[in-house]
Amino acid sequence: MENRSKIIVRTSIIGILANVGLVILKAIVGLFANSIAIIMDAINNLSDALSSTITIIGTKLSQKKPDAKHPYGHGRVEYITSLAIGVIIIVAGVGAIVESIISIIEKREPTFSVISLVLISIAVLVKVAIGLYFRHVGKKVKSEALKGSGMDALFDAILSFGTLVSIVVSLFWDVNIEGYIGAVIGLFMIKSGIDVLRTSLSSIIGERTSKEVSEAIKHLVCQNPEVKGAYDLIVNNYGPDRGIGSIHIEVSDEMTAKDIHPLTRKISAQVYKEFGIIMTVGIYATRY
Q: Mutual orientation of helices 178-205 and 77-106 as an angle, nearest 10°? A: 160
Shared domain for 41 and 177, answered yes or no, is yes
Whole-structure pTM value: 0.67
Shared domain for 149 and 249, answered yes or no, is no
How far apart are the C-alpha atoms of 252 and 287, rounded to whole Å?
A: 6
How far apart are the C-alpha atoms of 139 and 5, rounded to whole Å?
A: 14
Shared domain for 121 and 15, answered yes or no, is yes
Q: Could you list the residue range(s) of the whole structural domain that residue 89 is in?
A: 4-205
pLDDT of residue 17: 92
What's the CA angle centered on 21, arms 185 and 189, to 5 degrees?
15
pLDDT of residue 203: 79
pLDDT of residue 1: 45
Q: Mutual orientation of helices 114-141 and 36-62 as an angle, nearest 10°? A: 20
Among residues 205, 235, 263, the one where a domain terminates is 205
| 8 Å CB contact between 220 and 270 | yes
Shared domain for 233 and 174, answered yes or no, is no
pLDDT of residue 112: 67
Shared domain for 178 and 201, answered yes or no, is yes
* Count: domains in the chain: 2
How far apart are the C-alpha atoms of 171 and 248, rounded to whole Å?
A: 70
How far apart are the C-alpha atoms of 244 and 238, rounded to whole Å?
A: 8
| 8 Å CB contact between 169 and 104 | no
pLDDT of residue 267: 94
Tens-level pLDDT at each residue, the chain (288 residues): 457 788 888 888 998 999 899 889 888 888 887 776 677 778 777 877 887 888 888 888 888 888 888 877 787 887 888 888 888 878 888 887 887 788 788 776 666 677 777 887 888 898 899 999 999 998 888 787 788 788 878 877 877 787 778 778 877 887 777 778 778 777 877 887 888 888 888 878 877 778 888 999 999 999 999 999 999 999 988 876 678 899 999 999 889 989 999 999 999 999 998 888 889 999 998 876
Shared domain for 138 and 242, answered yes or no, is no
Among residues 189, 205, 221, the one where a domain terminates is 205
Shared domain for 78 and 141, answered yes or no, is yes
Shared domain for 256 and 135, answered yes or no, is no
Dihedral sign for Cα atoms in the order 188, 193, 194, 198: positive
Shared domain for 172 and 274, answered yes or no, is no
Shared domain for 190 and 217, answered yes or no, is no
Among residues 147, 181, 205, the one where a domain terminates is 205
Q: What are the Cα distances from residue 195, in Å, to 97, 144, 149, 191, 206? A: 18, 11, 12, 6, 17
